Amino acid sequence: DTEVTQTPKHLVMGMTNKKSLKCEQHMGHRAMYWYKQKAKKPPELMFVYSYEKLSINESVPSRFSPECPNSSLLNLHLHALQPEDSALYLCASSQVGRGRSSNSPLHFGNGTRLTVT
Amino acid sequence: AQKVTQAQTEISVVEKEDVTLDCVYETRDTTYYLFWYKQPPSGELVFLIRRNSFDEQNEISGRYSWNFQKSTSSFNFTITASQVVDSAVYFCALSGLYNFNKFYFGSGTKLNVKP
C-alpha cells in the first residue's frame, strides 16, 4: 500500500471547470512534489514545496495553481485547462536534506488520471 | 548538465530469462545519486534502489541486482529469473547534491515478461 494518497483516482473535466487534486502523506516528509506524466513518457516535474514553501516552479502555466496547506497536504488547483493537459498527475514526497548520505528518494502516490474534454 | 539515457525503449523476454536494463548518465557533479523506479500498469512509481556516487559497491536484493560503474557512467539493473509480475516500465533517475529536489528521469524501458 502506498504511503502517499492521491484523490481522486480519475477526473474528467471540461475546459471551463475548476477542480482540485489532493495529495496527503504521513511519512513526516517536508518536501512535496507535483509531476505530470504523459503516456509513454517519464514524469515531468511541475512544482516542489520544501517546508511548505514553493521552492521550484518549472514554468508551469498559471491554470495550474499549487497549494501546500500544511506539511502533510498538497493540492493542485485546476482552472481553464486544455485538452493537452490530459495526463497522469503524480504527487510525491521526500525528506529534505543534503549531504553524503542524503538525497532521499521520492515516494509517489498512485496518481490522478485527468481527462480534459 | 544532468542527463539520463535509457536506450532500450522496450524489451520482451520469456519468464525465467535474465534481463538487464541499461542506464547511462551524465553529470558535472562530483557527488550525485542514482535511482531506479518501477511503474507497473497501475501507474504508481515504486522506488527500488538509491546509490550514492561515492559508493560503487554493487547491490543484490533477491532477484534484482545493480551494477554501478563510474568509469562508464552506467548504473545497470539486472533481473534474474524474470517473472510476469516484473512487467512494467522501469525508470532510471539522477539527482545532484546541491539541487537535490530535482530528479532527472530517463525515458524509461518497458519490460514485457511473457509466460
CA proximity to B67, closest of B47, B84, B92, B88? B92
User: For residues B87 and B40, is the Cβ–Cβ distance under 8 A?
Assistant: yes
Q: Summarize the confidence of residues B110-114 as an average pLDDT.
A: 97
Listed by number, the residues of chain A in 2-31 with a beta carbon closer than 8 Å to a beta carbon of chain B are 2, 31
- In B1-115, beta strands by DSSP E: 3-5, 10-14, 19-21, 24-26, 32-39, 46-52, 59-61, 64-69, 74-79, 88-96, 104-105, 109-114
Higher pLDDT, A97 or A64: A64
CA proximity to A35, closest of A25, A45, A27? A45
Higher pLDDT, B70 or A103: B70
Q: Which pLDDT value is given to residue A65?
A: 97
d(CA B105, CA B97): 16
Q: How many CB pairs under 8 A join A and B?
A: 65
Q: Which pLDDT value is given to residue A95?
A: 87
Residue A2, Cβ density class (10 Å: 0-12 exposed, 13-18 middle, ≥19 buried): middle
Q: What is the pLDDT of residues B43-81, one digit of tens each?
A: 899 999 999 898 888 888 899 999 999 999 999 999 999
> For residue B98, is pLDDT > 90?
no
> For residue A102, is pLDDT > 80?
no
Contacts of B42 in chain A (CB under 8 A): 110
Instruction: Give the residue from chain B lying closest to A4, CA to CA.
Output: B44
Contact check, Cβ <8 Å, A42/B44? no
d(CA B10, CA A109): 25
The single residue listed with the C-alpha cell 529534505 is A96
Instruction: Give the residue from chain B lying closest to A110, CA to CA.
Output: B44
Query: CA B33 from chain center: how many Å?
Result: 12
Contacts of B106 in chain A (CB under 8 A): 42
CA proximity to B19, closest of B93, B114, B104? B114
Is some CB atom of chain A closer than 8 A to the CB atom of B50?
yes
Contact check, Cβ <8 Å, A56/B102? yes
Is some CB atom of chain A closer than 8 A to the CB atom of B47?
yes
What mean pLDDT, rounded, does chain A reach? 92
Grid coordinates given for A4: 502517499
Lowest pLDDT segment from A3-7, A25-29, A102-106: A102-106
Classify domain B3-114 by CATH number. Answer: 2.60.40.10
Domain boundaries in chain B? 3-114
